[in-house]
Amino acid sequence: MAALKHRRTALERVEKFISEVYFTDCNLRGRLFGDRCPAASLSCFQTPRRIPYDEAVRQEFAPVKVGDSFGPTWETCWFKVELSIPPAWAGREVHFVWESDGEGMVWRDAQPVQGLTKEGEKTSYILTSSLKETEPHSVTLYVELACNGLFGAGKGSMIAPPDPDRRFTLSKAELVVFNRDVYELLVDLEILLDMAQLLGEENQRSFQALYTANQMVNVCDVGDPSTFPAARGLAAAIFSQRNGESQHTIHAVGHCHIDSAWLWPYEETIRKCARSWVTVVRLMEHNPELTFACSQAQQFEWVRSWYPGLYARIQDFVAKGRFIPVGGTWVEMDGNLPSGESMVRQFLQGQRFFQEQFGQICSEFWLPDTFGYSAQLPQLMRGCGIRRFLTQKLSWNLVNTFPHHTFFWEGIDGSRVLTHFPPGDSYGMHGRVEEVLKTVKNNKDKGRVNHSAFLFGFGDGGGGPTQKMLDRMKRMSDTDGLPRVQISTPDRLFSVLEKESSQLCTWVGELFLELHNGTYTTQAQIKKGNRECERILHDVEVLSTLALARSGTFQYPTSELQRLWRLLLLNQFHDVLPGSCIQLVVEDALRYYAEIRGAGARLQEEAVQSLCGDLLQPGVGSTQSTLVLNTLPWERTEVISRTGPAGTETLALVTVPSMGYAVVKEPLQPPQPVTVRKQEDGSVTMENGVIAVCLDTMGRLTSLHLVGSQRESVPEGCYANQFALFDDVPLYWDAWDVMDYHLETRKPVTTLLKPLEISLAGGLRGSASFSLQIGKSSTLTQEIILDATCPYLRFLTQVEWKEAHKFLKVEFPLLVRSTNATYEIQFGHLQRPTHGNTSWDWARFEVWAHKWVDLSEHGFGVALLNDCKYGASAHGNVLSLSLLRAPKSPDATADMGHHQFTYAVMPHWGSFQDAGVIQCAYNLNFPLHPVPASSAQCPEAWSSFSVSSPAVVLETVKQAEDSPGAVVVRLYEAHGSTVEAWLQTSLPVQEATLCDLLERPVAGGCLRLEQRGVRLSFTPFRVLSLLLVLRR
Question: Is the CB of 166 or the CB of 393 nearer to Zn ion?
Answer: 393
Q: Tell me which stretch binds Zn ion (CB under 5 A): 285-293, 316-324, 367-375, 378-386.
A: 367-375
Closest separation between CB of residue 564 and Zn ion, Å? 24
Q: Are strands 806-813 and 722-727 parallel, antiparallel or unpaired?
A: antiparallel
Closest separation between CB of residue 929 and Zn ion, Å? 38
Closest separation between CB of residue 576 and Zn ion, Å? 11
Closest separation between CB of residue 462 and Zn ion, Å? 11
Closest separation between CB of residue 612 and Zn ion, Å? 46
Q: Are 582 and 891 in contact (CB under 8 A)?
A: yes
DSSP secondary structure string for all residues of 952-977: EEEEEEEE-SS-TTEEEEEEEE-SS-
Verify binding: residue 811, Zn ion, rule CB under 5 A.
no
DSSP H helical ranges for 32-107:
53-57
Question: Is the CB of 260 or the CB of 866 nearer to Zn ion?
Answer: 260
Contact string 405-444 vs Zn ion (x = CB under 5 A) = ----------------------------------------
Question: Is the CB of 461 or the CB of 667 nearer to Zn ion?
Answer: 461
Residues 902 and 536: their CA atoms lie apart, in Å, by 17
Contact with Zn ion (CB under 5 A): which of 334, 369, 811, 846? 369
**Bond preceding residue 939 cis, omega within 30 of 0:** yes
Q: Tell me which stretch binds Zn ion (CB under 5 A): 12-20, 369-377, 786-794, 942-950.
A: 369-377
Closest separation between CB of residue 529 and Zn ion, Å? 20
Residues whose CB falls within 8 Å of the CB of residue 257, separated by 6 or more in sequence, listed in order: 368, 369, 427, 428, 459, 460, 462
Question: Is the CB of 259 or the CB of 539 nearer to Zn ion?
Answer: 259
Measured from the Cβ of residue 212, the count of other Cβ atoms closer than 10 Å reads: 21
Q: Tell me which stretch binds Zn ion (CB under 5 A): 258-266, 404-412, 702-710, 1000-1008.
A: 258-266
Residues 216 and 227: their CA atoms lie apart, in Å, by 10
Which residue's CB atom is positioned nearest to Zn ion? 369
Closest separation between CB of residue 258 and Zn ion, Å? 8
Annotated catalytic residue: which of 334, 369, 471, 891? 369
Question: Is the CB of 301 or the CB of 369 nearer to Zn ion?
Answer: 369
Question: Is the CB of 94 or the CB of 581 nearer to Zn ion?
Answer: 581
DSSP secondary structure string for all residues of 381-427: HHHTT--EEE--GGGG-SS---S-SEEEEE-TTS-EEEEE--TTS-S
Residues 100 and 68: their CA atoms lie apart, in Å, by 10
Q: In 929-953, which positions are buried (b, 16+ CB within 10 angstroms) versus exposed (e)?
A: bbbebbebeeeebbbbbbbbbbbbb
Residues 230, 235, 236, 238, CA torsion sign: positive
How many residues line the site for Zn ion (CB under 5 A)?
A: 2
Measured from the Cβ of residue 151, the count of other Cβ atoms closer than 10 Å reads: 16
Question: Is the CB of 575 or the CB of 728 nearer to Zn ion?
Answer: 575
Contact string 982-1021 vs Zn ion (x = CB under 5 A) = ----------------------------------------
Q: In 636-674, which positions are buried (b, 16+ CB within 10 angstroms) versus exposed (e)?
A: bebbbebeeeeeeeeebbbbbbbbbbbbbeebeebeebb
Residues 833 and 821: their CA atoms lie apart, in Å, by 6
Contact string 326-365 vs Zn ion (x = CB under 5 A) = ----------------------------------------
Contact string 215-254 vs Zn ion (x = CB under 5 A) = ----------------------------------------
Question: Is the CB of 511 or the CB of 701 nearer to Zn ion?
Answer: 511
Contact with Zn ion (CB under 5 A): which of 93, 101, 188, 259? 259
Rg (CA), the chain: 32
Closest separation between CB of residue 281 and Zn ion, Å? 22
Q: Tell me which stretch binds Zn ion (CB under 5 A): 257-265, 604-612, 771-779, 1022-1030.
A: 257-265
Q: Give kind and range of the element (H or E) at residue 350.
A: helix 340-358
Q: How far is CA 838 from CA 484, 514, 831, 833, in A?
A: 39, 13, 16, 10
The CA-based diameter of the chain, rounded to the nearest angstrom, is: 116
Question: Is the CB of 153 or the CB of 1016 nearer to Zn ion?
Answer: 153
- Ranges of beta strands (E only) in 509-659 are 625-630, 636-643, 649-656
Q: Tell me which stretch binds Zn ion (CB under 5 A): 246-254, 366-374, 584-592, 858-866.
A: 366-374
SS3 4: coil
Closest separation between CB of residue 454 and Zn ion, Å? 18
| Cα 616 from chain centroid (whole Å) | 41
369 is catalytic: yes
Catalytic residues: 369
The binding site for Zn ion (CB under 5 A) comprises: 259, 369
